Amino acid sequence: MAESQARTRRSAEELKKGRRRSMSEFQAGAEVLQVKGLTGGYSPRRPVLHELDFTVRAGEMMGLIGLNGAGKSTTVKHLLGLMAPHRGEVKIGGTTLEADPERYRGSYAYVPEAPVLFEELTVEEHLRLTAMAYGLDEKRYAERRDRLLEEFRMGPKRGARAAHLSKGMKQKVMLMNALLAQPALYIIDEPFLGLDPLGIRSLLDRLTEERAKGAAILMSTHILSTVETYCDRFMLLHGGRIREMGTMDEVRMSRGAEGDTLEEIFYRVVEESDADGRGA
């Protein structure tokens, strides 16, 4: 146990080196994520992403959708700074990764599709680690922790080690960590995998609340009905290109597709893109 606490402290110190930017530092509507001309991928000779241009503003939820292999995860890897652009740039919190790595990394929380946890740490130790890393004071930490444990129905598991949690519970810990930190930008990859219906509802309610408080949210998912209901705007990637972007109304209007669902628009865009030879 002492060893796990020491590890918690060490990891927190590592994370704390950065200057964290919370969403309260951003004006409503400010462009928290700015992507300009991003061309990138795994080999400079064969880019996967082509000239992506988009922003996510404070107080906005953007859905990132596309078929398997469209380039969603590759886009996210570029945003996280795990891959360098071949051309173009990515700014988070007003800075590129090169210009100010600490501020850049401190401005977002990332929730991956597959949970990444310390097997030996308990649920509560994970939350405490995040609180230490983001410099939360004890009072605020305790308030947010208790609320999240209740909302995600994880109270009974607060003392359980990650190794002993179910798949969905592990995912909940990742989400609770992000929500505890309250960053300027949430980058969330397929958040609903493994969550039960109550967990999905809690997450959507909380994301809606965070957005109302000024958070910017980029959410990649295959659940189109959720994008249609909850996201302010969406971008549809196909073959590493943005083939549609905007609000549902904007896209319907520009395509003359009044009354169409996102699913109908999605199929049409994919068919058109394949027909003109620019598909995946």
Ligand X SMILES: Nc1ncnc2c1ncn2[C@@H]1O[C@H](COP(=O)(O)OP(=O)(O)OP(=O)(O)O)[C@@H](O)[C@H]1O
Nearest residue (CB) to ligand X, 245 versus 257: 245
Burial (Cβ within 10 Å: 0-12, 13-18, ≥19) of residue 15: middle
Asked whether position 48 contacts ligand X by CB under 6 A, the answer is yes
Sign, CA dihedral 255-259-265-267, equals: negative
Nearest to 183 by CA among 207, 208, 216, 154: 216
Q: How far is the CB of 237 from ligand X (least distance, A)?
A: 7
Residue 69 CB, nearest distance to ligand X (Å)? 4
Q: How would DSSP label each residue in 213-269?
A: TT-EEEEE-S-HHHHHHH-SEEEEEETTEEEEEE-HHHHHHHHT-TT--HHHHHHHH
Which of 34, 74, 107, 273 binds ligand X (CB under 6 A)? It is: 74
Which part of the chain contacts ligand X (CB under 6 A), choosing from 21-29, 71-79, 163-171, 247-255? 71-79
Give the nearest distance from C-beta 41 to ligand X in angstroms.
6
| C-beta closer to ligand X: residue 176 or 188 | 188
Identify the residue among 42, 99, 208, 267 touching ligand X (CB under 6 A): 42
Residue 266 neighbours by CB under 8 Å, 6+ apart: 65, 224, 236
Residue in 2, 27, 68, 259 binding ligand X, rule: CB under 6 A: 68
Segment near ligand X (CB under 6 A); pick from 24-32, 65-73, 86-94, 119-127 = 65-73
Containing 43, the helix (H) or strand (E) segment is: none
Question: Nearest distance from residue 255's CB to ligand X, in Å?
Answer: 22
Reference 237, options 48, 107, 106, 92; nearest CA is 48
Min dist CB 39 to ligand X, Å, is: 13
Q: Site residues (CB under 6 A) for ligand X?
A: 42, 48, 66, 68-74
